Structure 1
Amino acid sequence: MPRADQRDYERLARIARRRRVELGLALNDVNAKAGGLSNRTWQRVEKGLQIRETNYVKIDGLLRWAPGSCLGVLDGRDPVPVEGMENPDASGVQKSPLPQEIVDREALDTVQLALIATAKGTPAEEIREMSERVVRDLRERGLL
């Protein structure tokens, strides 16, 4: 953890509070639990108090910052927002900067190779159909 003094924690408190308000998040038990924290832990951050290092990444997720942003703020850097996420519940997930077609193609190739390695004797057309179905299901669930 970076060597932080009280001013660093106060800076994080100001930046985190501003971001929470910007996102329209209430500082309550429901939102804290959604991020895997207690409301008290979240309040400590906004009061400029230290929390366990492992909890800072949870604050990052709640505030839709890239992992490590809170620790970066304590070290004098600015947080890195993760914008454009369609699913706010997936706060620990960053969207790929790659075009969707490339992501789909890579996923399809990976699934096909796994099927070829494990489903010996399965016809090529069946492997292709299963691979396409897996990629389609993953895309529908927002995982691709």
Structure 2
Amino acid sequence: MTTTPRDLDRLAQRVKRHRMEQYPSRDAAAEAAGITRNTWKRVEEGQEVRESTYAKIDKALGWAIGSCIAITEGGNPVVAEPGSSDTSAVAQTPTAAMTEEEARRAVFEAARAKMPASTPIGALDAFGDELVEILRRAGVVRDGD
């Protein structure tokens, strides 16, 4: 199975440029995102971080969730609605699809970041199965590969 390589340098440039327009410092941006300064620095240096971190950066920069990933895949960020707490819109990439494995990895990262450690594995699996099916119907997850 092949996956699309991520262009983390492209993301680093876009995040840094946008951050400098919105925040007086890297510290301020990291605080707004709820991550450490060092984690924000890793992104601006083109190093990989957790999927959940990209979502936090999206929100801090006023982008729809999925924008950072879209940038790494050659797409562009989607601006979230001003004043809206609904950041559920997913940024579109040129292919606008991910493999089932990529979707399951994203579900795992989100669950690890947000769900209690006591959540049974079976419940996580059932949640993951349902979410992947929803994403497949929406055309975000492609079959095969």
Provide the TM-score with structure 1 as the length reference: 0.52
Q: Distance in 1 between matches of 2:51 and 2:78?
A: 18
Structure 1 residues 24 and 32: CA distance shift in structure 2, 3 A:
closer
Matched residue, 1:3: 4
Determine whether 1:15 maps to 2:14: yes
Provide the TM-score with structure 2 as the length reference: 0.52
* Offset, 1:54: 1.4
Gaps of 5+ in 2: 88-145
Matched residue, 1:98: none
* Offset, 1:15: 0.5
Alignment RMSD: 2.1
* Offset, 1:19: 0.7
Q: Distance in 2 between matches of 1:69 and 1:11?
A: 12
- Residue type matched to 1:4 in 2? P
Q: Is the 8 A contact 2:23 2:29 kept in 1?
A: no
Query: How far does the alpha carbon of each residue in 1:2-27 deviate from its partner, in whole angstroms, 9 at most, with x for none?
Result: 6334xx10000000111111113410
Partner residue of 1:94 out of 75, 86, 107: 86
Q: Distance in 1 between matches of 2:16 and 2:81?
A: 18
- Residue type matched to 2:68 in 1? C
Query: How far does the alpha carbon of each residue in 1:79-132 deviate from its partner, in whole angstroms, 9 at most, with x for none?
Result: 1122533xxxx7xx138xxxxxxxxxxxxxxxxxxxxxxxxxxxxxxxxxxxxx
Q: Distance in 1 between matches of 2:71 and 2:59?
A: 15
Structure 1 residues 26 and 80: CA distance shift in structure 2, 3 A:
same
Query: How far does the alpha carbon of each residue in 1:38-84 deviate from its partner, in whole angstroms, 9 at most, with x for none?
Result: 11111000011110111110010111100000011111100112253
Matched residue, 1:74: 72
Partner residue of 1:57 out of 55, 69, 72: 55
- How many percent of aligned residue pairs carry the same amino acid? 38
- Residue type matched to 2:77 in 1? P
- What is the number of residues matched between the two proteins? 85
Matched residue, 1:103: none
Determine whether 1:45 maps to 2:38: no
Gaps of 5+ in 1: 96-144
